Amino acid sequence: MVDRFSVGLRGYDKEEVNKAIANYERTVARLREQVRSSDESILQLQAQLQEEKNNVKRAKSGTTFASLGANAQQLLASAEQTSAQLLERAKQDAASIKKTARAQAGTLLNNAKLDAEHLLQEAQTKADTMLSNASKQSEQMMNAAQEDSDRLRSSAQRDVKALRDSTTLELNNAREEHNKKMASELAQQERNIADMKAEASKAIAEQRSTANDEIAHAKAETNDQIETALADANKKLADMRERASKMMAEAQRKAGEITDAASAKAQEIADAAQVERTKTLSQVSAEVEKIRADIAQQQEDATKKVDALLAGLKDREKASQEEAEALIARAKGIHQDADDYAAQTHKSADEQAAQIVRKAMKEATEQVEERRAAAQQELDGMTARLNQLQHREATITQRVTELRSLFTNAFAGFDFGDDKQQGSNSMSADLNDDVDESDIDNLSGADASDNNVSAISDNSDDSQNDDSKRVQREAQREIQDALAESEES
């Protein structure tokens, strides 16, 4: 089973990595122990072969005893029989040694191939695990960046909503206060007009003068209140726009920092995974090369020992040499297959890891670009919204200016000097005609075409009062419309 390391604060778990390295070292030690045991077995077989060679030499040297007589002939026959037995045993031992060496070489090659495949599989699994962890960490960081961006956006929206609600409340309070003041002023004007009507018979000129002063004062006060309310609204709107701009700039800066940090972290994780993969593959390649060199050395030693054994058997030298060459060729073929398999495995692992790294980098880059485009789009939308607010502000300012001009033009058409002179003449005419107190009481019901003093005074005051109320109503309506548009914005 392939080990999977747990991810710690600064990488993989140190204890698990140490355990894995210890397991690899024990595996290498076990392989070296097997090689050492094989060397000892080969040395023992070589000693036995040398002993058999000596016996054969001693048997061959006994062939000169044939000329020594009958006794020597018997000894020669016995020696030849012993030599034949020894030769047969030597052949059997040589065949057994050759078979054992061939089996051990095949076993070592299979074990080396299995170990190489196991190491390559572990390296590939570790590389895939590291790339998967890097991808997960990159995705987690991108999700965290998205959450931070959403949280900042929500916070900015809440702040803007709070500012809008606060501004709306203040504007409503200012509007109510302004309406109360206007109602109070209108009531005061109506009381003044009523007092002026009650005292019309005594001092029409004084009443008109007082009415003119009151109207001028009301007009000036109304203009001041309109200018004050407009200035406050402009100031609050400017403050709100400035705060919104600051919050958007801060949100954009933080979003940029978060996306840059996420990109840097993703690149760092990918680089670390690439370095770790390269390091692991290098270690595996070094181990494979070392095992291959040991196997090659063992095969070379075995080949030399087999050649030495076959050299003592002249009648089997050619066949043994051919068989040894066949074994060497087969071993080389197995080596070549192992090298090709290892190279193909390395190449496939490199291509797969590089493809995974490129895919992770591409996905991280695309996500960062998407977040950046979304933030830029949102910023453009808020900028357009601010431009609309500025346009509405300019429209409101222009409308208030038009109302102010209309209000000024509405009161500019009254010639109070001529009315005063006409009132004096009418008063003289009424006094000459001996107008009684009942005519003064009927001032409010007189027709506009009457020529008495009460009718002129009443009509003049009613006309001025109607114009004043009409202008004030239009001003209030325009201010309310402007405030409603500001609240909707």
What does R_g of the chain's alpha carbons equal in angstroms? 57
Residues spanned by the domain of 329: 19-134+262-355
- Identify the band that residue 439 occupies on the pLDDT scale cut at 50, 70 and 90: very low
The span from the CA of 232 to the CA of 483, in Å, is: 12
Q: Is 292 a member of any domain?
A: yes
* pLDDT tens digits along 289-321: 776 676 667 667 756 665 665 565 556 556 555
Q: Pairing state of beta strands 11-12 and 7-8?
A: antiparallel
Q: Is 307 a member of any domain?
A: yes
104 or 420: which leads in pLDDT: 104
- Distance between the two ends of the chain, CA-based, in angstroms? 65
The span from the CA of 57 to the CA of 311, in Å, is: 13
Query: Hey, what amino acid is at 45?
Result: L
Token look-up 């990918």 returns: 270
Alpha carbon of residue 231 to chain centroid: 44
- Identify the band that residue 337 occupies on the pLDDT scale cut at 50, 70 and 90: low
Tell me what pLDDT residue 351 has: 75
> With the C-alpha atoms ordered 408, 218, 168, 376, is the resulting torsion angle positive or negative?
positive
Q: Is 113 a member of any domain?
A: yes
Listed in sequence order, the residues at least 6 apart from 439 whose beta carbon sits closer than 8 Å to its beta carbon are 430, 452, 454
Q: Is 289 a member of any domain?
A: yes
The span from the CA of 67 to the CA of 21, in Å, is: 73
Tell me what pLDDT residue 430 has: 42
The span from the CA of 234 to the CA of 231, in Å, is: 5
Tell me what pLDDT residue 20 has: 77
Q: Is the pLDDT of residue 189 over 50?
A: yes
The span from the CA of 311 to the CA of 332, in Å, is: 23
Q: And the tokens for 248?
A: 């958007």
Tell me what pLDDT residue 132 has: 76
Q: Taking each helix axis from N to C terminus, what angle separates 453-488 and 204-311, rounded to the nearest 10 degrees?
A: 0
Contact predicate 407/222, CB 8 Å: yes
**Sequential DSSP letters for 2-39:** ---PPEETTEE-HHHHHHHHHHHHHHHHHHHHHHHHHH
DSSP 43: H
The span from the CA of 53 to the CA of 312, in Å, is: 6
Q: Is 279 a member of any domain?
A: yes
Q: Is the pLDDT of residue 169 over 80?
A: yes
Burial class (CB in 10 A: 0-12, 13-18, 19+), 86: middle
**Residue 447: what are its φ and ψ, rounded to 5°?**
-80, 155
Closest by Cα among 413, 433, 144 to 262: 144
Listed in sequence order, the residues at least 6 apart from 232 whose beta carbon sits closer than 8 Å to its beta carbon are 170, 174
Q: Is 294 a member of any domain?
A: yes
**Sequential DSSP letters for 282-325:** HHHHHHHHHHHHHHHHHHHHHHHHHHHHHHT-GGGHHHHHHHHH
Contact predicate 189/212, CB 8 Å: no
Averaging pLDDT over each range in 171-175, 363-367, 422-426, which range is the top one? 171-175
75 or 2: which leads in pLDDT: 75
Q: Is 332 a member of any domain?
A: yes
pTM, two decimal places: 0.25
Provide the number of structural domains found in the chain.
1
**Mean pLDDT (whole number) for 178-206:** 71
Q: Is 387 a member of any domain?
A: no
**Mean pLDDT (whole number) for 385-389:** 66
The span from the CA of 348 to the CA of 479, in Å, is: 76
* pLDDT tens digits along 130-149: 777 767 876 777 777 778 76
Tell me what pLDDT residue 180 has: 82
Q: Is the pLDDT of residue 26 over 80?
A: yes
Tell me what pLDDT residue 173 has: 81
Question: How many separate helices (H) and strands (E) can be counted in the chain?
Answer: 7, 2
Kindly report the average pLDDT of the chain as a whole number.
65
